[in-house]
């Protein structure tokens, strides 16, 4: 399962690059990074009500919403220089979808770690929960983005 979890999305990134170029992938990365940033900032600022406590106790509803808002805004800002033929409304919807799926990837990675009884998925990047913790949102959002771009 681990091979499919990692290899399929990374292969789709190569396919995205081949068909849509690096700018489309950059939009995906910007949305994912903005989602993580928005979730962290708004979660720390306004986060009181916990979200998915048994899976990831630090997550809050405010953080979840902050991720959606900043991820969607990042898609709107980024779509202009990517060459993607999306309207502003389509960029908002794409940003919301990618942000949501990315946050679900983050929760899935937390669930995998809880089930395995480990705090970090590896020691390659100390203090960041492991390499998979850095890629979890991207691994979930890439197949969705691939479908958005191709179909």
- pLDDT in 10s for each residue of the chain, 151 residues: 778 888 999 999 999 999 888 889 999 999 999 999 999 999 999 988 988 778 888 889 999 999 999 999 999 999 988 888 899 999 999 999 999 999 999 888 878 766 766 665 555 556 555 556 668 899 999 999 999 998 8
* pLDDT recorded at residue 101: 97
* pLDDT recorded at residue 21: 83
For the chain, report the end-to-end CA distance as a whole number of angstroms. Answer: 26
Local structure of residue 80 (DSSP, 8 states):
T
SS3 content of the chain, % helix, strand, coil (to 5): 75, 0, 25
* Angular region, 51: left φ>0, alpha ψ -120 to 50, beta rest: beta
| Other Cβ atoms closer than 10 A to 87 | 10
Q: Which residue has the tokens 């937390």?
A: 110
């Amino acid at each position: 399962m681990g091979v499919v979890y990692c290899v399929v999305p990374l292969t789709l990134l190569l396919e995205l690059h081949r068909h849509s170029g690096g700018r489309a992938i950059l939009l995906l990365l910007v949305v994912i990074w903005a989602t993580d940033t928005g979730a962290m900032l708004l979660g720390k600022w306004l986060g009181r009500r916990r979200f998915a406590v048994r899976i990831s106790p630090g997550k809050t509803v405010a953080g979840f919403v902050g991720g959606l808002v900043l991820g969607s805004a990042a898609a709107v800002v980024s779509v202009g220089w990517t060459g993607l033929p999306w309207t502003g409304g389509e960029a908002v919807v794409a940003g919301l979808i990618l942000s949501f799926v990315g946050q679900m990837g983050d929760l899935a990675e937390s669930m995998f770690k809880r089930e395995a009884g480990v705090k970090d998925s590896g020691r390659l990047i100390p203090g960041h929960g492991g390499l998979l913790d850095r890629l979890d949102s991207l691994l979930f959002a890439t197949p969705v983005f691939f479908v958005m771009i191709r179909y």
